[in-house]
Amino acid sequence: MRKPVMRKPRASPSPPLTPPTPGEGKRGTEGYLGYLLRQAAAGYRNRLERALAGLDVTQPQFAVLTMAAAYPGLSNADLARLSLLTPQTVSVIVANLKRSGLLDSRPHAAHGRIQQLALTTRGQKILERCKEHVLALERKLSDGLSPQQERAVREWLVKVAVESASTD
């Protein structure tokens, strides 16, 4: 006679977990500040990409154009540092922006191998159109903040960036 086989009772399948949306659980006020900062940056970048899409400009291209306009004569390496992009990425972006007629370069007076970059007239016009979209997005971003609160947020973000740069 065979012994009956004892089987474990089957557990009913548990429902799949649904990840929390921004603002819930660890993605909310109880989450790590660093994670929340990154989450906010990713959300802002997505909104910025959508805002610039109609102008055929990406967020990294906007960053490079902005820094090249603010600091004419910079090299690719300088732009990479200021734009928070890798030198390889900036090289590709600069080549594309030059091909599109938005950036121009000239050799550095003392260091001929270094190319100094500046916006063309067309690049300045495109950047101005981009800024209109970005400023509208910035207004939405700061909506509901008093000037003092916005200033406090700006100061805190700069403090985080300065402290991070000094520990690298």
pLDDT (0 to 100) of residue 16 = 75
pTM comes to: 0.80
Percent of the chain with pLDDT over 70: 92
Length of the chain: 168
DSSP code of 18? -
**Residue 102: is its pLDDT beyond 80?**
yes
Q: Rounded distance, CA 149 to CA 151, Å?
A: 5
pLDDT (0 to 100) of residue 167 = 61
The closest of 38, 14, 37, 36 to 25, measured between CA atoms, is 36
**Residue 166: is its pLDDT beyond 90?**
no
Distances (CA, A) of 79 to 10, 53, 74: 60, 22, 6
Q: Which domains does the chain have, with CATH numbers?
A: 56-163 (1.10.10.10)
Distances (CA, A) of 117 to 1, 53, 62, 107: 90, 24, 15, 9
Q: Rounded distance, CA 9 to CA 72, Å?
A: 72
